[in-house]
Amino acid sequence: MNRKGLRGLTIVEMMLVMTITALVFAVTQALLARTIDMWWKVNANADAQQQIYKAQNFLERDLAGAAYETEAGRETIRIEKTPAELINLIGSDGDVLWFLSAVDPVSGNFVRKDGKPFWQRNILYYAVTPTSLETFDFSGAGMSVGGYESACPFKVLIRKEIDFGDPTDPDSTDPEPLLSYSDLTGFLNRPVGYSTAAMGTVSSSVRPISGNILTFRADLVPSTRGVNIDLRATAVNRAKREKPIGDRDLSGDAATQQLILTLFPPNRQGSESTESEDLGGP
């Protein structure tokens, strides 16, 4: 009887099988770990992207009710670069953008009188570091890069509607004036942790637009009558997982998402239309 077909594996063959099995297992584990890591990073970045998209939607809508006028006496939009009033760690939290809007905050209508936009409110945007940073488990000293604070990813993008001086509505006799920066500084206050409850005033309303903001920057572009926006939000959990945060620059970090956007306020002081256009509610 031939018993060759019944012999077992040799030690060398068993070792070879075990080695191949171990290699397959190791490769599978590595691929699985890489897939999980990629999935985790994508999901971690999704929140930062969502914060950016929210800001983009508000800026696009608000600037659609604005005009680009920078001539003295006719100004409708201004920017203050790296203001000292927003230095809360090391470097300024960002720029300040404010402009006049002819959108009635109650009806959502674009208001015109004598063919010109009838300005209703000052709209203010700025990013700011909250007080009580321990709420966010942040205890770093911060870092300044180019005059901007770039280590704290817990800033909040704030939007305010300001009715300065006498109340302005569609039936008013005088339009809202564009605020000077000295008049505006009193409105550049900070949230307490997550709370913005104490930030509003009788003449202003406040809305936190986006969180986990690293910086908000803006520039006026006279050649195109445009407004350049540079907004960065950080996926905080990812940033913390990879390295401690608090004293390192996050502006170019893989966990930081960036939006670069140019918007063009479409209205002009001398528009001939006399109709009220519905731009949607606030």
pLDDT of residue 72: 80
Cβ atoms within 10 A of the Cβ of 246, count?
19
Average pLDDT on 145-153 reads 95
The rounded distance, in Å, linking the Cα atoms of 162 and 101 is: 10
Q: Report residue 18's pLDDT band, with 50, 70 and 90 as the boundaries.
A: confident
CA 109 to CA 71: how far, in whole Å? 26
Alpha-carbon gap, residue 83 to 81, rounded angstroms: 6
Owner of token pair 């770093």: 140
Alpha-carbon Rg for the chain in angstroms: 27
pLDDT per position as a tens digit, 217-227: 999 999 999 99
Q: What is the average pLDDT value for the chain, to the nearest integer?
A: 86
Closest-CA residue to 217 (of 57, 91, 110, 121): 91
Phi-psi region of 264 (alpha: psi -120 to 50; beta: other; left: phi over 0): beta
Tell me how far apart the alpha carbons of residues 97 and 81 are, in angstroms, rounded to a whole number: 9
Check residue 263 and give its pLDDT: 98
pLDDT at 23: 82
The pLDDT of residue 84 is 95
Q: Tell me the C-alpha to C-alpha distance, in Å, between residue 268 and each of 72, 100, 120, 281.
A: 15, 12, 15, 22
Q: What is the pLDDT of residue 44?
A: 60
Kindly indicate the confidence band of residue 276, based on its pLDDT and cuts at 50, 70 and 90: very low
239 CB neighbour count, 10 Å cutoff: 22
Specify the residue for token string 């407004």: 227
Per DSSP, which regions of the chain are E strands? Answer: 77-80, 96-101, 109-110, 112-113, 116-117, 121-128, 144-145, 148-149, 155-162, 204-221, 226-234, 256-263, 277-278
Q: 196-216, pLDDT tens digit by residue? A: 988 988 889 999 999 999 999
| pLDDT computed for residue 2 by the predictor | 54
